[in-house]
Amino acid sequence: MPSNTTPELHRSLASRHVTMISIGGIIGAGLFVASSTTILAAGPAIILSYLAAGVLIMLVMRMLGEMAVARPDVRAFTDFPRLALGHGAGFVSGWLYWYFWIVTVAVEAIAGAKILQSWFPLPVWELGLALMAIMTVVNLMSTRSYGEFEFWFASIKVAAIVAFIAVTLAYACGFLSSTGPTFSNLTRHGGFVPNGMLAVLAGIATVFFSLTGAEITTVAAAESKEPARAVARLSTSVVGRVLVFYVGAVFCIVSVVPWNTVRQGESPFTLALNQAHIPGAGTAMTLVILTAVLSCLNSAFYVSSRVLFSLAAHGDAPQWLVQLNRRGVPSRSVWIGTVSGVLGVVAASVAAQTVFAFLVNSSGALMLFVYMMTALTQIRLRRMRESAGEPAPSVRMWLFPWASYLAIGGMAAVLVAMAFTASMSRDFYFSIITLAVAWIGYRLKVGFGGDSKCRARPQSARV
């Protein structure tokens, strides 16, 4: 349990910060660049993959919203499993989530460095470390400074996507095209589902990870001026808006250009804008992609430090990590993130095919494990509240329990798809190793004989 002397994080984030923090965590290079891979794999039917993955994420966020309203005292969403499934679940989910975002810090720093290298002819590792230094300073300044940076980063991304959809939709409708509407691209080149439904199902696994990050809202809630109810409702509405952005943008891409002309690793957004004869499209999208990368890097720093702070508060990490600086920031947790990220950048520079590849692969399926524990937790906490005769929270899961079971089944199907998809099977099996290491770490902490103090006991779902 958390210590009674654990300092409280400052509530300095306004509603606009929380909104953009959530959006910033979802919209990244996975949309602007990695979508090229999914489009080539599934063709125009990738729209269905985005819809299915988006529904799964919305179900998870609705469950988190219900729990956040019922338990506003919980600091981070990874602490919910601790309430229902025991301290072991809290330990495992917390460390898995921290590890995922620490790897993300290194990945985004390298991605940003490679973009900057086209303008600054310096080694990637130097540019990566420079980005790490900038984001460390931003996150050490204050929570509000992080919120302001993320607000403007996310605002640029949203504005870019809205403008992209407006321009490309006008082209697809024939208003900007000299040859008339181009919606025939949806079916002309091998049909709407050119590679079969299996490709669409496999695409859900890839797309799912592009949509993760919405749960950052519930992490930021601990430092928000808004009540838990407002944050919980916001989390679901934000995912809905982002889903419109994702599906709308991908729909416009496959409507404007033939899907089989997309090049893997190159932004299909740039391809579509060039098709629409928009001058300077390449430079503009490079700047947007850089903004998206920096936004995700900023969010990764923030989330990893707050989750580590929460783990320390529960005794699952060294207690000295719970101390705040005079600006109310868990600075020691931020520095741990910096050191870990620097090690990742160095590994990417000197051992990209071994150490860094293992780090990336071993974090590939972790969000699925964390989300599945979250779904099981929501079912358990709902049952506990009902058995205790407590009033239902104002935000509740839709169609309980069937929608909750649907979310678990859908995520299990994504894991199966990963295991049997050649390009993703390594991520799946390496992530299983990470899960096993986290559980062994917990057993070492409490002793393999068990620790009665760490066993979950029946309790009320509210304070």
What does pLDDT average to over the chain?
A: 85
Structure confidence by residue, pLDDT tens digits, 302-328: 889 989 998 998 899 998 998 888 888
Structure confidence by residue, pLDDT tens digits, 170-206: 999 999 888 889 999 999 999 999 998 888 888 888 8
24-28, 85-89, 116-120, 166-170: segment of lowest average pLDDT: 24-28
- CA dihedral in degrees (89, 93, 95, 96; nearest 10)? 130
Q: CATH number of the domain at 15-448, please?
A: 1.20.1740.10
**How far is 435 from 425, CA to CA, in rounded Å?**
15
Half-sphere exposure at residue 218, Cβ-oriented, CA atoms within 13 angstroms: 31
247-256, 352-361, 367-376: segment of lowest average pLDDT: 352-361
Kindly report the pTM of this predicted structure.
0.88
Residues 6+ apart with CB under 8 A from 376: 81, 84, 85, 408
Eight-class DSSP state of 302: H
- Tell me the pLDDT band of 232, cut-offs 50, 70 and 90: low
